[in-house]
Structure 1
């Protein structure tokens, strides 16, 4: 369980440079901090003109076994021809520790951000995800988390009910909505059989970079076991007709490499509900980290909690209607 009082105040630039020196890496440029809240991630160029990304993992968030399994998964995928940002190996190691901080190095990719509305990109991503799942389905995680209702709904809701950040005026209707969403999402999730496989786990547009027409997956921190559709649904956006077209395009590519069971489409709205609730709980749990009030100042406003209540009420409706299909409606 992460330490709720933890902060990164001790992770100074000097300590980071000393950590890199401990594995024989000497930055020529300064450390440029990248957008990451759970970990601390920086870009730099070393003395040999090689561009790296260094990731210092949040202490107590993952065990050493989980981090090593994350790295082994990435290296296995890379060896099977999947395109991703894998950890750098130094002296037969990918995970290093310095003054209590685990860290890893990754080669910086010369690629651009995904255009989430580009159907050609989605088709190529579908092929790449199908190939990734073909590889990932061949073995199982031993230490990584499982995507289930206990970790994504039960525990987050329990934690939110103990929060002092939620305005008193909205607590009663908010908790009622949370409980209703949990009951409905759990019923739908448990009613739909699926084969669990190893997943990227956090496969949204910001975690995919495009090199020409080739997708590269980054940030496997949240790799876990669960249904294949978890790595697909976050790439959908817009209204229902737009999402169905995007889904059809993704699956057209995906099924060239791996079979997709269409029954899993019934899991999209339950999974969306789980992500909404887990995300809110994550910010609440990290609030003592100074970076969170700085970057999420809206979290304690009445407007945010009112909008969250409306989102939860909408999810109750969304989970009652027919799921997306594999054929777009024109």
Structure 2
């Protein structure tokens, strides 16, 4: 079997309400090896696009029912369709290039056109289509690889921790205090690696656009209280004072007071990460978590008495794979993921810090 037989033909949908124009375009395009689909009715053409997306659409602007501009807008508004280049064709000198491009078209050509120019524009748009398809395919492969890779890592890590915990409890042999400490260290290291693997998977889901947030109203005060209570033992182990100021309840109707529209699980992940980091990197002093909100906005501040962060490091703190310079800094993905989650909620996260004077992370969210 020859390699040429396995090469996919590019499918071109040509839409024009004048039959003679369709035949002319078909004749011009037949110079290359394309599969050409002709449609004289714009509504039936739109159905073709939705059922079996072509690789490119050549579209007359002036058509009854759906003109070229509206046809283009409907394609671009359909989130279920892949990227399809659209070349608008018109015989009217007053047709608006601006309106066509704003509607989502990729190129524009006027009749009478030069056949060589038309073919060149089609080839150019098909190259763009192939490049974008290849990029999307690689992104899909990357996400699939990361998903499989992280799953394959999580399973043995979780199993190893179960065995280690049984060992610590003396299920297999007697355990001395020194041996128990070694086991605890191993469990902690496994847990850190497991969290890193989970964070890596979440980062790639966000970057690939496959992370779907679930927005529901929830009590933000209750979430902050829940996270700080869960992390309080970690602060107490280091003799740190974890302070929580939830502010006054708003004088609003009961169903709207202190409620935020968002993905509670993902915002919980952010708070756990930021407050956990504050505890991790603070040797002495306190961590102060404060919540303030009004009718439209939520402001959460996490202040610590840790070593602080230089202005140079602050500039890259929320970038991917940019770990801090503190001892024990992780992969640099936690803060990047937190930024992705907050920005997905149309909010913002930033830091104010000075070396030797602690740090204050501020999370702002719309209600």
What TM bracket, shorter-length normalisation? under 0.3
Tell me the TM-score normalized by structure 1: 0.21
Normalised TM-score (structure 2): 0.20
Larger radius of gyration: 2
Please state which structure has a larger fraction of its residues in strand: 2
